[in-house]
Amino acid sequence: MSDPAAGSLDLLFPEWPAPARVRAACTTRLGGVSQGVYASLNLGRSGDDSAAVSENRRRVRQALGLPAEPCWIRQVHGVRAVQMPQAAPDPEADASFTFEPGVVCAVQAADCMPVLFCDRAGTVVAAAHAGWRGLAGGVLERTVAAMGVPPGQLLAWLGPAIGPEAFEVGEEVREAFVTADAAAAGAFRAGAVAGKHYADLFALARMRLAQVGVSQVSGGGLSTHADPARFYSYRRDGVTGRMAALIWLEPGAPS
């Protein structure tokens, strides 16, 4: 849900049974200073004015009261999950996790699905970037394994992503999922032309998480493609900005 108290930014806050010390949020495209195709709260460095992006990131830090600058990663549609903090900035990965309070894990997206994780005890958090390649390759499973707690103790939240009404893919994408799990066929419906299918990223993510024992999954259903006023969408606009999903542990003993 949105929280109007968080300054002038339009922010989403997961509705999930996370411990009090787990803090998490997802930005929209509203509340920043970027112009043109990047208007307005673009957090991605590629293409946009660097000073505008820096100001946008500052606004997010201020609105959320972040304990530190987010640990940004260089996303490549892969499956690598890295523990934060890292010695070198911007490591190449598509997920990050931390056991340390005050360390902010973050992923950027503009159609791909951001997925946030925490454990019920409030000892570890993670953020994953899951487009179809990452989902098919196992980025969510890798992230769950890296967190080092029983999957049944984990909570997951699915952020905004391109919805099944717009995510048209080729046969090779469907086969990538169905070959691994025949039940995944239920997450696809026939497209307008032969060999094309509409894919449901939210359903695919839930299936993948269920297979590794993560049953408490919240969120899902907000389509970036369907809401140009609120969300960036690469499939809809081509050149566009990036939103971010962020998660961290507040200092203090786990509750």
Please say whether the beta carbons of 241 and 48 come within 8 A: yes
pLDDT at position 253 is 64
- Give the pLDDT mean for 121-140: 98
* CA-based end-to-end distance of the chain: 24
Distance CA 234, CA 87 (A): 31
- Give the pLDDT mean for 113-119: 98
Give me the percent of the chain exceeding a pLDDT of 90.
93
> Could you read off the pLDDT of 52-96 as tens digits, one per residue?
999 999 999 999 999 999 999 999 999 999 999 998 889 999 999
Name the amino acid, one letter, at 134. Answer: G
pLDDT at position 8 is 85
Spell out the domain ranges in the chain. Answer: 11-164+215-249
pLDDT at position 192 is 87
Residue 161 has pLDDT above 60, yes or no: yes
Strand partners, 216: 155
CA-based nearest residue to 243, from 97, 111, 86, 84: 111
Which has the minimum average pLDDT: 87-91, 105-109, 159-163? 87-91
- Residue-averaged pLDDT of the chain: 95
pLDDT at position 4 is 36
> Could you read off the pLDDT of 166-200 as tens digits, one per residue?
999 999 999 999 999 999 999 999 998 999 999 99
What pLDDT band is residue 117 in, cutting at 50, 70 and 90?
very high
pTM of the full structure = 0.96
What pLDDT band is residue 3 in, cutting at 50, 70 and 90?
very low
pLDDT at position 252 is 74
CATH fourth-level superfamily of 11-164+215-249: CNF1/YfiH-like putative cysteine hydrolases (3.60.140.10)
